[in-house]
């Protein structure tokens, strides 16, 4: 399906396009790099138990699976996606101030659910703007996107040192200030007009193309990826709380989170050289096995006296359990899905990841409440289910591209 032609205005490259997009990515990921590792610590400090924390973390995940495709589709129809992006960041800034209110369970849950509606679409919308520049002007996506990874790492490390000095009560303030910086950068977003093709999470694209993608190979593979990804829910929800409970300081917690991201980036850099010849099924099997090894090792590190160095070693497996999943999914879509169906394929994969992550996050609260760090062992069968689904995908692999 040919792309619609560019208008004369769309052929004009905005000034300093790459610099402006790099600034957007750099500010966008500071708030995310604070929220993932430290928000559970703030919840615990405010007196919420493990079950309440699980609900507060999981409920927004269920909601955003529905709302994010709708908002990205809305942005595709807007006169300019940059205006929608600015509105979302501004709304997120205002809603994040709700965490300064008295932190009752109902209040925090309500703020979290409202915030996820306007927060989650920001990353795919930024990608949509950046990729328009790649297609129209030949911009280098990785040179812009890398600043998001760098700022995420910075937030992990700096957040730990800030909390070590101030306590976890500073988390809402850090998120608020990060979103304020993101809004300032958003006001500089390059105007690109409407996209020539719907964004990867377009609800309309999913509705149109999904029936052609509902084949056994794609379904088994995307659900398997979602389940393997969901086995990380216990880690994201409760590992910071566990590390603090055994006396590890905030600054070291930040470094441990950052080390996982560093390992992920290293895998991205070395993948083509060492793993590109592997089939997507082999890549996903390695990711599943790496996840299982990680969940078995985590509860054993401290009892075996391996100390903080042991946790750094286990965090290195982030390169396998997370990076290979991300790469393997995109490799599968690129090899088997025709170009006009990639948007729908991305959307269905996003739904699978988000739905199963929310389910396992919800279950992680009672697991941590009852078993503590041994709850990681419950993630082993989750990852095994994902591996079985990948095996079923291998048995039904197509001999040609699907989704035509």
Is the C-alpha dihedral spanning 164, 55, 321, 341 positive or negative?
negative
Phi, psi of 402 (to 5 degrees): -110, 175
pLDDT at 126 over 90: no
Q: Which residue has the higher pLDDT, 78 or 260?
A: 260
In which band, very low, low, confident or very high, does the pLDDT at 315 lie, cut at 50, 70 and 90? very high
Query: In percent, how much of the chain has pLDDT > 90?
Result: 60
Distance CA 168, CA 156 (A): 13
Summarize pLDDT for 9-63 with one digit per residue, the tens.
556 677 888 899 999 999 999 999 999 999 999 999 999 999 999 999 999 999 9
Phi, psi of 337 (to 5 degrees): -110, 130
Please give the distance of CA 148 from its chain centroid, rounded to a whole number: 12
Query: What is the chain's percent helix, strand, coil content, to nearest 5?
Result: 80, 0, 20
Summarize pLDDT for 269-287 with one digit per residue, the tens.
888 788 878 888 999 999 9
Distance CA 329, CA 284 (A): 8
Task: Check residue 403 and give its pLDDT.
Answer: 46
Residue pointed to by tokens 């997507």: 280
* Least confident residue range of 104-118, 162-176, 196-210, 360-374: 196-210
**pTM of the entire structure?**
0.87
Q: What is the dihedral of CA 171, 244, 317, 301, to 10 degrees?
A: 180
């Amino acid at each position: 399906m040919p792309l619609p032609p560019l208008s004369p205005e769309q052929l004009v490259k905005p000034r300093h396009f790459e610099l402006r997009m790099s600034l957007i990515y750099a500010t966008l990921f500071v708030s995310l790099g604070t929220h993932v590792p430290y928000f559970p610590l703030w919840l615990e400090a405010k007196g919420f138990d493990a079950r309440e924390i699980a609900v507060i973390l999981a409920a927004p995940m269920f909601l955003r699976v529905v709302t994010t495709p709708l908002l990205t589709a809305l942005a595709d129809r807007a006169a300019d996606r940059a205006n929608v992006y600015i509105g979302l960041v501004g709304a997120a800034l205002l809603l994040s101030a709700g965490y300064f209110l008295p932190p009752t369970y109902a209040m925090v849950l309500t703020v979290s659910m409202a915030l996820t509606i306007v927060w989650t679409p920001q990353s795919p919308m930024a990608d949509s703007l950046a990729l328009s520049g790649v297609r129209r002007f030949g911009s280098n996506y990785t040179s812009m996107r890398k600043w998001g990874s760098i700022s995420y790492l910075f937030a992990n490390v700096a957040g730990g040192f800030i909390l070590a000095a101030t306590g976890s009560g500073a988390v809402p303030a850090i998120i608020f200030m990060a979103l304020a910086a993101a809004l300032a950068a958003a006001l500089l977003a390059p105007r690109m007009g409407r996209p020539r093709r719907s964004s990867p999470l377009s609800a309309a694209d999913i509705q149109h193309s999904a029936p052609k993608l509902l084949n056994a190979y794609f379904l088994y593979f995307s659900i398997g990826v979602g389940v393997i990804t969901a086995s990380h829910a216990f880690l994201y929800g409760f590992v910071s709380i566990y590390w603090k409970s055994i006396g590890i300081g905030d600054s070291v917690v930040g470094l441990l989170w950052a080390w996982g991201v560093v390992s992920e980036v290293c895998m991205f850099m070395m993948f083509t050289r060492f793993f590109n010849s592997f089939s997507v099924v082999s890549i996903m099997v390695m990711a599943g096995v790496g996840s299982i090894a990680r969940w078995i090792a985590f509860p054993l590190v401290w009892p075996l006296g391996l100390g903080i160095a042991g946790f750094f070693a286990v965090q290195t497996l982030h390169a396998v359990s997370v990076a290979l999943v991300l790469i393997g999914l995109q490799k599968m879509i690129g090899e088997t899905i025709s170009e006009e169906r990639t948007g729908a394929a991305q959307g269905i994969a996003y739904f699978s990841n988000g739905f199963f992550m929310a389910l396992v996050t919800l279950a992680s609260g009672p697991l941590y409440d009852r078993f503590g760090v041994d709850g990681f062992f419950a993630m082993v069968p989750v990852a095994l289910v994902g591996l079985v689904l990948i095996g079923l995908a291998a048995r039904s692999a197509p001999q040609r591209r699907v989704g035509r």
